């Protein structure tokens, strides 16, 4: 397989209850790309995310990260390369202090002493949470916990950052602050979201997933202005929101 940041070839996954979540997904994400994964509920988006670092293993097809196959013998390195920030930050925060949570991953990779301290300090600085290092994560606001969850992933220095519904349950200020952080990261980004304006803000490309299949792949502004596509796959921009004309025209003309 290629050395693209992510490559999925004919990936299929069926849950034990018989539900077919993915049906032959082909997808390549190049290094440095920012790709939004869009689709209605039940489209297979979360299942797709869980195959990227081996939490789920496809029954058919293959996944590779930077050319390294997502297989049992490679999982330690795969999970360093692909960092997933889940929708609920409490799924990732379980230590007594913020610093301990952020240090957990790199310490398991063998970092100690000054090197570990520097890694933690850098990750917390990126997300603007340095002052909270000694606090309990459970005493923070939801938006602050989400930023700490992001720091736990960034401390692993991943090649690919996967964000699962990052704007959900955030107030407008926290939503903006998180977008500003993500926008300045030098990393490949896969953004799974129902928040279409957020996807437009942070990504140049989008993939539409429905019933376990990739049904569209292209410049995000062009897809969001394709009314038949949007209607067919239960995607809808918020009332009153429209893709800026200049952005939609420039992106559509390049496709």
pLDDT, block means (10 residues), the chain with 255 residues: 90 96 97 97 95 95 96 94 95 95 94 96 98 96 96 97 96 96 97 96 97 97 96 95 67 36
Q: Residue 77: give the domain boundaries.
A: 6-88+160-254
The CA distance from 194 to 235, in Å, is 8
- Residue 245 belongs to a domain with what CATH number? 3.40.50.300
- With DSSP H G I counted as helix, E B as strand and the rest as coil, what are the percentages for the chain, rounded to 5? 40, 25, 35
Give domain status of residue 102, yes or no.
no
Residue 154 within any structural domain of the chain: no
Would you say residue 127 lies in a domain?
A: no
- Does residue 34 sit within a domain? yes
Nearest to 120 by CA among 80, 154, 149: 154
DSSP 8-state class, residue 4: S
Residue 199 counted as domain residue: yes
d(CA 186, CA 188): 7
- Taking the C-alpha atoms of residue 14 and residue 9, their distance in angstroms, rounded to an integer, is 16
Question: What count of residues does the chain have?
Answer: 255
What letters, b where the CB count within 10 A reaches 16 and e where it falls short, cover 213-225? ebebebbbbbbbb
Q: How many domains does the chain have?
A: 1
**Residue keyed to tokens 């299949």:** 213
Q: Is residue 130 part of a domain?
A: no
Q: What is the pLDDT of residue 244?
A: 85
- pLDDT score at 254: 34
Instruction: Please tell me the predicted confidence (pLDDT) of residue 3.
Output: 87
Apex 244 CA angle, 239 and 245, nearest 5: 120
| pLDDT given at position 78 | 96
Evaluate whether residue 152 is within a structural domain: no
């Amino acid at each position: 397989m290629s050395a693209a940041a992510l490559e999925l070839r004919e990936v299929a996954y069926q849950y034990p209850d018989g539900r077919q979540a993915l049906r032959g997904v082909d997808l390549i994400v190049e290094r440095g790309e920012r790709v939004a994964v869009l689709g209605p509920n039940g489209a297979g988006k979360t299942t797709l995310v869980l195959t990227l670092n081996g939490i789920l293993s496809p029954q058919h097809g293959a996944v590779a990260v930077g050319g390294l196959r997502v297989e049992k013998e490679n999982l330690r390195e795969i999970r360093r390369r692909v960092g997933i920030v889940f929708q609920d930050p409490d799924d990732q925060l379980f230590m007594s202090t913020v610093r301990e949570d952020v240090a957990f991953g790199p310490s398991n990779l063998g970092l100690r002493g000054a090197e570990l301290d520097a890694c933690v300090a850098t990750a917390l600085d990126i997300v603007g949470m340095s002052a909270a290092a000694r606090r309990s994560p459970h005493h923070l606001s939801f938006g602050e916990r989400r930023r700490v969850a992001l720091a736990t992933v960034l401390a692993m220095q991943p090649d690919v950052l996967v964000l699962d519904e990052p704007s959900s349950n955030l107030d407008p200020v926290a939503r903006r602050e998180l977008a500003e952080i993500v926008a300045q990261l030098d990393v490949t980004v896969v953004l799974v979201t129902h928040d279409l304006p957020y996807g437009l803000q942070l990504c140049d490309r989008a993939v539409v997933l429905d019933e376990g299949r990739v049904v569209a792949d292209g410049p995000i502004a062009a897809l969001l202005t394709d009314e038949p596509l949007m209607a067919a796959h239960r995607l809808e921009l918020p009332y009153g929101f429209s893709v800026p004309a200049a952005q939609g025209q420039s992106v559509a003309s390049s496709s």
